[in-house]
């Protein structure tokens, strides 16, 4: 669709982040912005970027086709990415993907007929200590298994928004794309959505064990406390 | 060896990501000290500390900064490599999520040192929640006068932009990252010239990893002696070790450089389900695998190199005795084939070709010469490709064959196909059946226990 004045203003905001005369640096965020308007990188979006940045459409296309997060067809409402790289695969990530694929009847980078879900297998998502992981519109669902993954996509198809283990409450692909373009998430509390779970603080919990901070009394100053059955506790 | 939480120290504090928490826990004190010390004083200090890059290559950070030309009249840039994507690596994401201000304070100090007035955080696109935390923290830092014009009345000005990537592992390679940040396809550049003289916009540029830069405020505040009291002579300081795979308590363990896997496993509750260790990567999938014979190797840059591998990102992926090495190596090789940027032939053509051979072996349709062909191909790729991605692609294959050659040969025609579809979790078929029968842990999260 043709770009609105609001989008043009957003593009100018993006360009202003980069040093004078270096507007081409705005291209990646602008392609995210295009996805926030159109749901994927459209021909109009490519033309828009080319015009705003004074480069050719061929140059924009060359960039848009290089990166996996730019979609050439409209993604479903929910982009479900299952990590199948090693640490996740060791704990069943490939099973999770296979089960979802069978359950939804779609393969990699395909969308369910109701337009709800696009499935993809992903490479390592920098959350290997939470394996196996999957993300929905880039929010983390940690330590999933085939059954819990099916429950999550079923809920999505029913129009519900299951709560991610880490990250903000789910937002639409369009909203996520706008954040990727560098704009703040306007939802109150979004930044406060959980960021670290127990694996991130595994070492800290050992340091805490036996110290006042690790006890129930210290819990107010801690997000996670040492589990009572923790073998290193007090040792 | 103890755990030594420094960079991870705030991660378990409620609202750890806010400016209020950061300031209450010594935050932005190092910046005040640094502004007093002056740029050359900081570079000298970081040199003396012996801090080495945490992004994989271990280049001395102070030396990197001192390569930036002085008084050349060109703008200088600092670019933070937050593209974390090396399989097994999962330390920068929690750092940015839990303690973004420590990174931002490090960025201000480093920019002041190398006389940069513009800095960028190149953030892996998929890490949307890290982006939220970083952008909120940057806004707070501007508001408090730590960023922008005339920082704390010093006359030094800095603008900091969080720039989200769009999904490409190769953009972690620093010159590909710079091309990507300039709005191009993320393909590596020919070196020399190096980024120190011809980096972003052909200007002097420092590229550093998140963990590297987040270390700087602590060094400024606590001093060289404190930093060197941890770790080893040539690899000093604390290091975040990331444990994943078949380990009881996967997670981040910050300990002195040179801590061994035996010590880390003790902290992490050992191998899952009481099984035996078979293989592990010391620093992500691009570092050659090691075995149970290497449990006591000191995990610092020198120690791991002496053992024939690389410290890389200290991302330790742990595989127990049930894994099928051929499946592991095939899966990792698929990763490199997928992520090859296509710029040079050995990598673009070589990686999918090796996937083909490995898949054929896995299906039991291999040839007795296949293993040697793989080694030969790796020999022709290593050191002959345009960037280090392709070198990394040879690591799982060469180390896998070195230590587990019989598993590769075992797969040569037998009529039956080991590791056929339906088995899970990269386990050998027999191991799966065995563990399914013997594993009594009901509802165990370990997929091996559920395999049918
Ligand atoms: C294929 C490839 C991927 C890389 N990915 C990353 C990465 O995600 N993060 C990172 O900091 N360094 C990565 N590096 C290393 C960088 O090129 C560079 O050495 C590093 O950012 C320098 O920072 P340091 O000196 O602080 O370690 C990668 C290198 C290669 C060859
Ligand atoms: S080695 Fe691979 S990733 Fe590196 S430049 Fe060549 S094709 Fe690209
Ligand atoms: S291997 Fe799945 S997140 Fe790293």
Digit-coded pLDDT (tens) for B243-279: 999 999 999 999 999 999 999 999 999 999 999 999 9
Q: Using the predicted structure, report yes or no on whether residue B445 has a pLDDT greater than 90.
A: no
Lowest mean pLDDT among A65-74, A219-228, B323-332, B367-376: A219-228
Decide which of B424 and B151 is more confident: B151
- What pLDDT, on the 0 to 100 scale, is given for residue B348? 97
Q: Is the pLDDT score of B429 beyond 80?
A: no
A126 contacts B328? CB cut-off 8 A:
no
Looking at the predicted structure, is the pLDDT value of residue A226 above 50?
A: yes
Return the pLDDT at B447: 33
Is A127's C-beta closer than 6 angstroms to any atom of ligand 3? yes
At B167-205, the pLDDT tens digits run: 999 999 999 999 999 999 999 999 999 999 999 999 999
Instruction: Please tell me if the CB atom of residue B381 comes closer than 6 angstroms to any atom of ligand 2.
Output: no
Strands A78-83 and A134-136: antiparallel
Task: Look at residue B143 and tell me whether its pLDDT is greater than 70.
Answer: yes
- Ligand 1: which atom is nearest the Cα of residue B59? 25
Average pLDDT rounded to a whole number, residues B82-96: 98
Residue B432 pLDDT exceeds 50: no
Confidence tier at B414 by pLDDT (50, 70, 90): low
Per-residue pLDDT at A67 exceeds 80: yes
Q: Do B98 and A196 touch (CB under 8 A)?
A: yes
Q: What is the pLDDT of residue A235?
A: 33
The pLDDT confidence band at residue B1, using thresholds 50, 70 and 90, is: low
pLDDT at A227: 56
- Out of B7, B51, B56, mutate this one to test ligand 1's pocket (max ligand atoms within 8 Å of CB): namely B56
Instruction: Determine whether the interchain pair B129/A167 forms a contact, defined as Cβ–Cβ distance below 8 Å.
Output: yes
Predicted local distance difference test score (pLDDT) of residue B368: 87
Tell me which residue in A18, A25, A203 faces B5 most closely, judged by beta carbons: A203
pLDDT digits (tens, 9 = 90+) for A127-155: 999 999 999 999 999 999 999 999 999 99
Q: Can you give the pLDDT at residue A225? A: 72
Residue B340 has pLDDT above 80, yes or no: yes
- For residue B442, is pLDDT > 50? no
Whole-number average pLDDT of chain B: 92
- CA of A143, nearest ligand number: 3
Closest CB to A179: pick one of B90, B128, B450.
B128
Instruction: Map residue A82 onto helix, strand or coil.
Output: strand
Asked whether the beta carbons of residue A198 and residue B88 sit closer than 8 angstroms, the reply is: no
Q: Which of B279, B283, B314, B447 to substitute to test the interface with A, most A CBs within 10 Å?
A: B447
What percent of chain B lies above the pLDDT cut of 90? 88
Task: Indicate which of B166, B243, B339 best probes the interface with A, i.e. most A CBs within 10 Å of its own CB.
Answer: B166
Kindly determine whether residue B426 and residue A201, on different chains, have CB atoms separated by under 8 Å: no
pLDDT at B424 over 60: no
């Amino acid at each position: 669709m043709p770009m609105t004045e609001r989008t043009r203003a957003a593009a100018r905001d993006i360009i202003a982040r980069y040093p004078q005369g270096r507007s081409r640096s705005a291209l990646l965020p602008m392609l995210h912005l295009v996805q926030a308007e159109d749901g994927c990188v459209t021909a109009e979006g490519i033309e828009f970027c080319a015009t705003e940045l004074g480069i050719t459409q061929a140059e924009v296309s060359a960039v848009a086709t290089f990166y996996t997060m730019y979609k050439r067809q409209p993604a479903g409402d929910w982009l479900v990415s299952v990590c199948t790289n090693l640490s996740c695969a060791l704990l069943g990530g490939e099973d999770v993907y296979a089960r979802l694929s069978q359950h939804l009847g779609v393969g990699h980078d395909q969308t369910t007929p109701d337009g709800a879900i696009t499935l993809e297998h992903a490479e390592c998502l920098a959350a290997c200590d939470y394996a196996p992981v999957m993300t929905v519109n880039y929010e983390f669902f940690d330590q999933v298994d085939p059954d819990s993954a099916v429950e999550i996509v079923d809920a999505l198809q029913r129009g519900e928004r299951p709560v991610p283990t880490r990250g903000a409450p789910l937002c639409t692909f369009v909203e996520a794309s706008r954040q990727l373009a560098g704009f703040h998430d306007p939802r109150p509390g979004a930044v406060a959505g959980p960021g670290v779970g127990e694996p991130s603080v595994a070492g800290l919990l050992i340091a805490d064990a036996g110290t006042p901070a690790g006890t129930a009394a210290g819990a107010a100053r801690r997000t996670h406390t040492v589990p009572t059955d923790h073998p290193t506790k007090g040792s | 060896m103890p755990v030594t939480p420094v960079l991870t120290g705030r991660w378990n504090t409620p609202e750890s990501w806010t400016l209020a928490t950061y300031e209450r826990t010594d935050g932005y004190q190092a910046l005040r000290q640094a502004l007093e010390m002056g740029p050359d004083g900081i570079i000298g200090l970081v040199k003396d500390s012996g801090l080495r890059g945490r992004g994989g290559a271990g280049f001395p950070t102070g030396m990197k900064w001192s390569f930036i030309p002085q008084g050349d009249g060109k703008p200088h840039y600092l670019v933070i490599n937050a593209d974390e994507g090396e399989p097994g690596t999962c330390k920068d994401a929690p750092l940015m999520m839990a303690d973004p201000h420590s990174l931002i304070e490090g960025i201000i100090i480093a920019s002041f040192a190398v006389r940069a007035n513009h800095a960028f955080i190149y953030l892996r696109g998929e890490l949307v929640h890290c982006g939220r935390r970083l952008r909120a923290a940057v806004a707070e830092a501007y508001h408090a006068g730590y960023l922008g014009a005339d920082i704390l009345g010093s006359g030094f000005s800095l603008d900091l932009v969080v720039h989200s990537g769009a999904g490409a592992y190769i953009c972690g390679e620093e010159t590909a990252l710079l091309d990507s940040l300039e709005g191009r396809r993320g393909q590596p550049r020919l070196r020399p010239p190096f980024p120190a003289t011809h980096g972003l916009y052909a200007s002097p540029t420092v590229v550093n990893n998140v963990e590297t830069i987040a270390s700087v405020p602590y060094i400024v505040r606590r001093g060289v002696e404190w930093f060197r009291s941890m770790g080893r002579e040539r690899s000093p300081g604390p290091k975040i070790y990331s444990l994943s795979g078949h380990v009881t308590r996967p997670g981040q363990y910050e300990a002195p450089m040179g801590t061994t896997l035996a010590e880390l496993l003790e902290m992490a509750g050992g191998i899952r389900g009481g099984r035996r260790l078979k293989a592990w990567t010391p620093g992500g999938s691009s570092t050659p695998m090691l075995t149970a014979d290497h449990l006591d190797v000191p995990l610092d840059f020198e120690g791991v190199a002496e053992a024939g591998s690389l410290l890389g990102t200290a991302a330790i992926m742990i595989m127990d005795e049930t894994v099928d090495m051929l499946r592991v190596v095939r899966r990792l090789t698929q990763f490199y084939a997928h992520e090859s940027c296509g710029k040079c032939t050995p990598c673009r053509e070589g990686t999918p070709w090796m996937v083909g051979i490995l898949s054929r072996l896995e299906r039991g349709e291999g040839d007795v010469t296949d293993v040697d062909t793989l080694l030969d191909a790796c020999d022709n790729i290593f050191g002959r490709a345009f960037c280090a991605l392709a070198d990394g692609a040879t690591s799982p294959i060469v180390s896998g064959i070195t230590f587990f050659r019989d598993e590769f040969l075992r797969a040569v025609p037998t009529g039956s196909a080991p590791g056929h579809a339906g088995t899970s979790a990269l386990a050998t078929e027999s191991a799966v059946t065995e563990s399914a029968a013997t594993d009594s842990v009901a509802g165990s999260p370990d997929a091996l226990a559920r395999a049918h």
